[in-house]
């Protein structure tokens, strides 16, 4: 089970947008250059952020992407859901109702499958933990040891 690398890209781009996006939208090509990523594929991840209401996009030659809301209001869970979708990683296919159990009375299956319940508990813990961490928390951790990081990046953006 592997999460799309788009999650890493999208989270980094959100931080980057919070640092360089104050004066106007940032083109996907600039964000891609910032991390040496393929622009067309990064653009797909950015469009997913737009669909999720995390970013906005402006068309046209001076267009690009901006954050739709402050970092405090974007959680790591929001990013994961935007890129990976809302479906659970473990999807119960109810094999307990097949084979030897085919034709069993429906009442046997009224309670949810215990295996599915156990797996769901794990995913809920994962989701809750990601939902508690905002990009503002992540930003504070990232810039804690490197307080001039945003300034360095604004300088890079102005220069290139």
Residues lying near its own copies in the complex (CB under 8 A) are found at: 1-5, 7-9, 11-12, 15, 32-37, 76, 84, 87, 89-93, 95-96, 98-100, 102, 108, 110-111, 113-119, 121-130, 133, 137-139, 141-142, 145-146, 153, 156, 160
- Which residue, 13 or 66, has its beta carbon nearer to its own copies? 13
- Which residue, 60 or 65, has its beta carbon nearer to its own copies? 65
Min dist CB 130 to its own copies, Å, is 4
Please name which of 48, 54, 52 lies closest in space to residue 4, comparing C-alpha atoms.
48
Min dist CB 44 to its own copies, Å, is 16
- Which residue, 62 or 98, has its beta carbon nearer to its own copies? 98
Min dist CB 84 to its own copies, Å, is 5
Min dist CB 89 to its own copies, Å, is 5
Cα 28 to its chain centre, rounded Å, is 17
- Which residue, 62 or 91, has its beta carbon nearer to its own copies? 91
Contact 146, 140 (CB under 8 A): no
- Which residue, 70 or 85, has its beta carbon nearer to its own copies? 85
Please name which of 63, 60, 58, 74 lies closest in space to residue 12, comparing C-alpha atoms.
74
Q: What is the DSSP string of 50-83?
A: HHTTSEEEE-STT-EEEESS-GGG-BHHHHHHHH
d(C-alpha 40, C-alpha 29), whole Å: 8
Min dist CB 141 to its own copies, Å, is 4
Q: Computed over its alpha carbons, how large is the radius of gyration of the chain?
A: 21
φ and ψ at residue 3, rounded to 5 degrees? -80, 150
């Amino acid at each position: 089970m592997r999460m799309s690398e788009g999650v890493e890209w999208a989270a980094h781009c959100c931080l980057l947008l919070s640092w360089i996006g104050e004066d106007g939208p940032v083109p996907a090509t600039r964000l891609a250059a910032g991390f040496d990523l393929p622009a067309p594929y990064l653009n797909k991840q950015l469009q997913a952020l737009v669909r999720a209401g995390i970013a906005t996009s402006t068309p046209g030659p001076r267009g690009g992407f901006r954050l739709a809301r402050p970092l405090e209001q974007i959680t790591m869970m929001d990013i994961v859901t935007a890129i990976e979708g809302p479906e659970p990683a473990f999807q119960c296919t109810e094999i307990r109702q097949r084979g030897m159990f085919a034709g069993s009375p429906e009442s046997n299956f009224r309670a949810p499958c215990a295996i599915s319940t156990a797996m769901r508990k794990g995913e809920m813990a994962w989701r809750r933990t990601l939902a508690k961490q905002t990009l503002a928390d992540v930003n504070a951790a990232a810039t804690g040891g490197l307080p001039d990081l945003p300034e360095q990046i604004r300088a890079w953006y102005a220069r290139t």
